[in-house]
């Protein structure tokens, strides 16, 4: 099984400052077809998760451009250029390259 490991944020993050969340996979997420199925999800308090970024770096519809994704192979990063109050929540990376599908343990974003 592919293990996804996320690093904690130095909490809390100052409003308007950048934040960066790392995610590492135990093996390459490059699919046999050439794509890398690494997505980022945001879960606000009391809400179901929602898709932010798909295929490493593509923002989903309606996601503010302060969110960006990068990385390759086994190392990936979600960046928020300027943290806003509505960004509070838990962020998960998820791999869909192979079954079993797996998630990172989540990174909590708190704002001061």
Partner 1 sequence: EVQLLESGGDLVQPGGSLRLSCVASGFTFSSYAMNWVRQAPGKGLEWVSSISSSGGDTYYADSVKGRFTISRDNSKNTLFLQLNSLRVEDTAVYYCVKDWSIWFGVTWGQGTLVTVSS
Q: Does 25 bind partner 1 (CB under 8 A)?
A: no
Asked if residues 110 and 11 have their Cβ atoms less than 8 Å apart, the reply is: yes
Q: Which residues, 6 or more positions from 87, have their beta carbon under 8 angstroms from its beta carbon?
A: 19, 42, 80, 109, 111
Instruction: Please pick, from the candidates 59, 88, 106, 111, the single residue that binds partner 1 as defined by CB under 8 A.
Output: 106
Stretch that binds partner 1, among 16-24, 62-70, 79-87, 104-112 (CB under 8 A): 104-112
Which of the 8 DSSP states describes residue 17? Answer: S
Report the residue number, 18 or 73, with the smaller CB distance to partner 1.
73
- In sign, the C-alpha dihedral spanning 47, 52, 55, 61 is positive
Ramachandran angles phi, psi of 47, nearest 5°? -120, 155
Among 9, 20, 22, 31, binds partner 1 (CB under 8 A): 31
Q: How many residues interact with partner 1 (rule CB under 8 A)?
A: 25
Alpha-carbon torsion (67, 69, 70, 71), positive or negative: positive
Give the interface segment with partner 1, choosing from 13-21, 63-71, 76-84, 102-110 (CB under 8 A). 102-110
For the segment 42-101, give every residue that binds partner 1 (CB under 8 A). 43, 48-51, 54-55, 60, 90, 92, 94, 96, 99-101
């Amino acid at each position: 099984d592919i293990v996804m490991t996320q690093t904690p944020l130095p909490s809390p993050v100052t409003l308007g400052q950048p934040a960066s969340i790392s995610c590492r996979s135990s093996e390459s997420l490059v699919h046999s077809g050439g794509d890398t199925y690494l997505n980022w999800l945001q879960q606000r308090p009391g809400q179901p998760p929602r898709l932010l970024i798909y295929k490493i770096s593509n923002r989903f519809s309606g996601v503010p451009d302060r969110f960006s994704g990068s990385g390759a192979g086994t190392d990936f990063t979600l960046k928020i250029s300027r943290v806003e109050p509505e960004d509070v929540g838990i962020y998960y990376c998820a791999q869909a390259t192979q079954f079993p599908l797996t998630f990172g343990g989540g990174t909590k974003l708190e704002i001061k």
